[in-house]
Amino acid sequence: MAIQRNAPPVDVNQRRIMGGTEADVIQLYPMKHKFAWEYYNTANANHWLPTEISMQLDIEQWKSPTALSADERRAFETVLGFFTTADSIAANNIVMGFYKHVSSPEVRMYLLRQAYEEAIHTHAYQYIVESLGLNQAKIFNMYREIDSIYNKEEFILGFNEGIFDGDFKMDTFENKQKFLENWCVFSLILEGIFFYSSFAVMLGFQRQHKLTGSAEQIQYIMRDESMHLNFGVEVINTIKEENPELWTNDFARKIIELVKKAVVLEYTFAKEVFPTGIFGMNADGFKQYIEYIADRRLQRVGLTPQYNVQNPFPWMSEAIDLSKEKNFFETRVIEYQVGGQLNW
Ligand code: FE
């Protein structure tokens, strides 16, 4: 990129999330996508590290022959098997897919923070695996050995094809649509659906006072992921506004079909992890919960809900709304929060 000498300041009204001018990319001000800057600041205020959370109780329970059932151990390990590789997939997509093709520097600022958070999440899983002395090779290789994890990750990775290529450019209608489709898949499906039965299981452990250190790690991850999803929704809706021609009826139908396919993949995974149910959650409950959240994701980007079911796990919504739980922060060793900005 060559700097255009003596060119006038960027016209903020010309700024676009995708397909903007090259000069835009390094001029943070004037800002157009102010939501991204707010997300960047809120994320910094919510900073945390896995090693701040005590794993002592988890270590004792994992060693104890009676604290956990065989089904609970299997469910815990399988959920970790999904988690350990999923955040690396998310990180790669941000760095090698989104970042390069985004032409709004304020959106790029949050993407840099988001990429770091994905690294913190992978660190959290590594820390859990190491603390409990789990079989590292087994857990980190589950995506290649367990069908339901493989199917979810294979589905997601398919949407990187083309976009990760060095010569992919945002100069055709098809490529712009492909990029928007990638964003819908990563935000609405990977971050918005594929994590949620695993989140529910981990909070199930917490509700039984089991493996609470691991569950607390996951609560922090849920808070971050919920921001990633909300940010993704803002990005998708802004791209729609800036490029209304991309959101054709066919495109909208395609996104709905992808979400429906993802719902099946997700509840198939939940069924495989808990064939006999766990903590009062059975296969039907998971199916309905996933359908419920899928409808919420569709609505956020202006698409028609497909299932219209009640939330069978209302406690999940409460748990996600962590800003209301004051006690949650009392377990923290280090307090990064300085600006009183826990609302998101
Ligand atoms: Fe994420």
63 Cα to the center of ligand 1, angstroms: 31
pLDDT for res 217 = 95
Average pLDDT estimate for 278-286: 88
Q: Are 214 and 58 in contact (CB under 8 A)?
A: yes
Q: Return the active site residues.
A: 127
206-243 burial string, b = 16+ CB within 10 Å, else e?
Answer: beeebbbbbbbbbbbbbbbbbbbbbbbbbbbebbbebb
Average pLDDT estimate for 85-93: 95
Average pLDDT estimate for 15-34: 86
Q: Are 256 and 187 in contact (CB under 8 A)?
A: no
- Domain boundaries, given as residue ranges, for the chain: 69-333
pLDDT for res 30 = 87
- What's the pLDDT tens digit per position in 95-128? 999 999 999 999 999 999 999 999 999 999 999 9
31 Cα to the center of ligand 1, angstroms: 24
Q: Are 262 and 196 in contact (CB under 8 A)?
A: no
229 Cα to the center of ligand 1, angstroms: 7
| Percent of the residues in the chain that have a pLDDT greater than 70, as a whole number | 92
Q: Which of 46, 105, 120, 34 is nearest to 344 (CA)?
A: 46
Q: pTM of the predicted model, to two decimals?
A: 0.92
State the residue for tokens 């959370």.
53
117 Cα to the center of ligand 1, angstroms: 7
Query: What is the third-level CATH fold of 69-333?
Result: Ribonucleotide Reductase, subunit A (1.10.620)
- What's the pLDDT tens digit per position in 143-193? 999 999 999 999 999 999 889 998 999 989 999 999 999 999 999 999 999
Q: Are 268 and 151 in contact (CB under 8 A)?
A: yes
pLDDT at residue 281 greater than cutoff 90: no
* Better pLDDT: 4 or 191: 191
